[in-house]
Amino acid sequence: MTKQALVQNIREKQSFLCVGLDTDLTKIPHHLLAYQDPVFEFNKAVIDATKDLCVAYKPNLAFYESLGPKGWKSLEKTLEYIPENIFTIADAKRGDIGNTSKMYAKTFFEYMNFDAVTVAPYMGKDSITPFLEFDDKWVIVLGLTSNEGSADFQYLKDQDGRTLYDKVITKAQEWGNPNNLMYVVGATHPETFAEIRALAKDFFFLVPGVGAQGGDMNAVFKHGKNDDIGLLVNSSRDIIYAGNGLDFQEEIRRKAQQVQKSMNDLMA
């Protein structure tokens, strides 16, 4: 998907919501376990309930890989079911180099046909550039993540006082551009958004941490938006596990509508 198409979808839906498909068999409504493929049945219900309210879906691959071949099949069926005009993100956090990285890129962009994949930049340029060789595909670089352990390394400063996340976000712009590169910036660090937006003015941010992790969407929007909005705010557990009874789909939609309305109000 092109940047223009993504921005257009955000404007038309008045939403920058990304729904995380972190589907856990132990958390989905119990009655779905009677289906041959309960993971897909759950994802299908989530997509039907939210596809007019969100602009992206982000399956976390660990939840599918943990189920072996059946999990991969569920993921394939889920991708086929997602409407073509909705941005798809493989939350894979790959981070290898050379031919290995090229094979990861082929997996997600040719075989699976995702629009984007999350990539860890610890090994440098070699771990990023193979993903940038595909037209209208995106690499989403881990910049400043939302987890508590992000403080272990990402805030470390060099002798000039620059943080590691600053150097990562700045350096990666030598390899990609705003049409094929995004950054993960966690909502649990609202104090950094103005600084990071200044570092990457025209780039999109994938923003986890709103909802269950306590991130403030108002602060994210105020300090993180740009002329294209430039944000994909992810919500996983808060939306997909909003209900667990026979009416779970209605509860999912009700929660997604609340999130989309708050986004619409911010964009107005």
Q: How many CB atoms lie within 10 A of CB 84?
A: 6
Rounded to whole angstroms, the Cα distance separating 205 from 228 reads: 11
Helices 248-267 + 217-224 axis angle, to 10: 40
The DSSP code for 226 is B
Rounded to whole angstroms, the Cα distance separating 4 from 74 reads: 30
Rounded to whole angstroms, the Cα distance separating 260 from 56 reads: 13
Catalytic residue among 73, 77, 93, 225: 93
The DSSP bridge pattern shows strands 17-21 and 56-59 to be parallel
Question: Does 13 qualify as catalytic in the annotation?
Answer: no
- What is the set of active-site residues? 93
